[in-house]
Structure 1
């Protein structure tokens, strides 16, 4: 089986998590034509897996002992500089705000990823949903025939629905923009229909006297949902054939670049949460050369995404967030690398009801002070993101055992909200 598109096993895993709340209406193309704040709201997360260095991205300290060879360039936000390896993004920074003082208590990849993807630390008594799952739960969209949470690229730590249920697990698309061929039926339509008819006969016979079990397992409903998805015109969002060469070139010929372009197309369909992963930021060695190489991919794709969303009037309804699970140490180790650092790392965010052009926090240019100025705990960041999407972060939901949990335990940052 090809891994170039949507893996059937991932599709079926997602489908088996569906419940009665998944609607199966006909395709409504109004999702792609509605504009601005009237549109369904969406979250795009550019996930920099491994932990990007703040010093080689959004918080450079050139000319200092901790700064290394990274230089700084001016941006379209007055007084704000970023690493010199992002010349294209520097011109679009006025669409974003910068947080340079994120803090957490997690320096392990798995634990930090859990925190930064959910807004909660690991709790052995339950599994929290990802922030994308919360967005999809809070903002249902009936016209959607494909999953509301989608992960694009290779990510070993997939976003999950947690106690919200499997229907809010992210559908994994490892190589976006290649084709949707893996979603299509292997059989000709008449033969597939005969098989489905036979299955229906067997299912009806099995259901006699077992109605409660059948209703509880929802097998037929799950199958209908998967079939609806496989025959939906909304799957065209995963294909790039109708995009111009200029557009594809702007995003870049990389898995991440194609993922960012597919993310824009999924927003047009009303998908609630899209995560696009760029790997290999765990730079314990060769930190500077590896970040420079990754920046070549990130700079063009991120810039093209921002420009595209803005020009299509989608940025007002779409929050864009770029971050990883933590940052890197100010100290440069003996392998010319930087190690894990959760004590003052950076992120970019903008769109929706978020303020653009703001700068929050600062880190010590000497590297001696561990705590940044104006520290922002990760839960506060996500309370702000939810607020920027029009979602009340204090809203409570009950787990399957009746335990009340808020969407976020954080406090929104007023300076980042319009």
Structure 2
């Protein structure tokens, strides 16, 4: 790790002091009335997913095997979970790791990027006759939105595979923001107010003409609902959640001045406003060649952003109401290939899961230090989804009827007991 990176990093004590001092403190008057009332474990719950696109190596993140044939040149460091080590490139995450459960035995049957993403996002393998909703779409669909005037399901960053609503409908598909922290586009009318109103009147006449004689009135159509929601959003004070212009420079630096760091900061702001599901994407984990150099580069972005997000959520009394999931579509092979890379590996990889009232400080499962045997206590994605839905107060056994009348459960799995407090 470079000296410049070390100098810009904050240890947990310094960061906690920063986030709880008057420099960045939010008084109740600075929060919306809804956000002020909804803080703490009694507020409505939400989900943040940090999506590590490409498939991060478990060996260069949360499950290192230093000194072994498969371990490569990296070292491991101690963490706040006694007896547990992670990759040396994650010193800040090591300090807050006891906020999470570390699951080291995730298994999947899909090793292709698109299909693997589908499985981890939805809990189901791809089928030709149905598109399943992503976890974020389910959370948005099933939890009440209250007085929210901005989208309740948001995807931040340039993710290749969108988190889709599937059979829940496009209304549940994530609102995509490709450059988080920057101004949103197409939210201001390009003409003056009077001309804008005339355009809306003309649009209303056209819409009414189109629907005349049809079975349902315009007021009940998704077309009109979409227009009404867009107009409400354009003038909403809640849009400020997408902007980070009022954040102190020290906070921006702690998260990191890059798309992912800004995305994590915007995610916290959105959750504070009442958004139910937020994804933040970090690309670049598909390390078929130069695995160690590329993985270290990703760690220099992920480590401070993740640690700062956790500390920030806790300092604002949002941790117990926010589930945080850190994962990708699969892991990387234990074997190092001739290009000094690691290939796709769905047969035993790692994720982090914490917050929202889940247990913490636990390590679930284990992988073989020789990379030959199946993992101990294997965990499947539907179990993770069922656990998240349950802790969010959603009936994971609920059946939804698709548009063609096919009943499908939200997830096929059962909650994992080890993820819950005794």
CA shift at 1:201, angstroms? 3.7
Find the partner of 1:322 among 323, 326, 337: 326
Deviation string, structure 1 residues 14-72 (Cα, Å, up to 9, x no partner): xxxxxxxxxxxxx9731354211221211000000000000000000001110001111
C-alpha separation in 1, matches of 2:86 and 2:36: 34
* TM-score, normalised relative to structure 2: 0.90
Secondary structure in structure 2 of the residue aligned to 1:381 = helix
Gaps of 5+ in 2: 1-30
Report the equivalent of 1:200.
Answer: 204
Structure 1's 355 and 181: CA in aligned 2 closer, same or farther, altered over 3 A? same
Find the partner of 1:388 among 387, 391, 403: 391
Report the equivalent of 1:100.
Answer: 104
C-alpha separation in 2, matches of 1:175 and 1:205: 38
Please identify, of 217-226 and 40-49, the stretch whose mean Cα deviation from structure 2 is larger. Answer: 217-226
CA shift at 1:127, angstroms? 0.7
C-alpha separation in 1, matches of 2:85 and 2:192: 57
Does the 8 Å CA contact 2:208/2:218 hold for their aligned counterparts?
Answer: no
Report the equivalent of 2:35.
Answer: 31
Does the 8 Å CA contact 1:353/1:387 hold for their aligned counterparts?
Answer: no
Find the partner of 2:308 among 281, 298, 304: 304
Give the ranges of 4+ consecutive aligned residues of structure 1 lying more than 6 Å apart after TM superposition.
Answer: none
Secondary structure in structure 1 of the residue aligned to 2:68 = coil
Please identify, of 78-87 and 384-393, the stretch whose mean Cα deviation from structure 2 is larger. Answer: 384-393
Find the partner of 2:128 among 93, 99, 124: 124
Deviation string, structure 1 residues 368-417 (Cα, Å, up to 9, x no partner): 21x10000011111111112212221122211222221111111111111
Secondary structure in structure 1 of the residue aligned to 2:176 = strand
Deviation string, structure 1 residues 78-135 (Cα, Å, up to 9, x no partner): 1111100000111111111100000010011111000000011112221100011111
Report the equivalent of 2:91.
Answer: 87
C-alpha separation in 2, matches of 1:152 and 1:395: 28
Q: Does 1:144 align with 2:148?
A: yes
Q: How does 1:191-270 map to 2 (within 5 A)?
A: 191-210=195-214, 212=216, 214=218, 217-270=221-274
C-alpha separation in 2, matches of 1:137 and 1:290: 37
Secondary structure in structure 2 of the residue aligned to 1:353 = coil
Find the partner of 2:179 among 175, 187, 198: 175
Does the 8 Å CA contact 2:219/2:225 hold for their aligned counterparts?
Answer: no
Q: Does 1:279 align with 2:283?
A: yes
Please identify, of 343-352 and 393-402, the stretch whose mean Cα deviation from structure 2 is larger. Answer: 393-402
Q: Does 1:411 align with 2:403?
A: no
Report the equivalent of 2:402.
Answer: 399
* TM-score, normalised relative to structure 1: 0.90
Q: Does 1:375 align with 2:378?
A: yes
Deviation string, structure 1 residues 198-237 (Cα, Å, up to 9, x no partner): 3334444554434537467442222111111121111111
C-alpha separation in 1, matches of 2:320 and 2:186: 33
CA shift at 1:325, angstroms? 0.2
C-alpha separation in 2, matches of 1:174 and 1:298: 18
Report the equivalent of 1:49.
Answer: 53
Structure 1 vs Structure 2 CA RMSD = 1.6
Deviation string, structure 1 residues 232-262 (Cα, Å, up to 9, x no partner): 1111111001111111111001100000000
Report the equivalent of 1:9.
Answer: none
C-alpha separation in 2, matches of 1:166 and 1:129: 10
Gaps of 5+ in 1: 1-26
CA shift at 1:270, angstroms? 1.0
Please identify, of 209-218 and 189-198, the stretch whose mean Cα deviation from structure 2 is larger. Answer: 209-218
Secondary structure in structure 1 of the residue aligned to 2:348 = strand
C-alpha separation in 2, matches of 1:201 and 1:131: 38
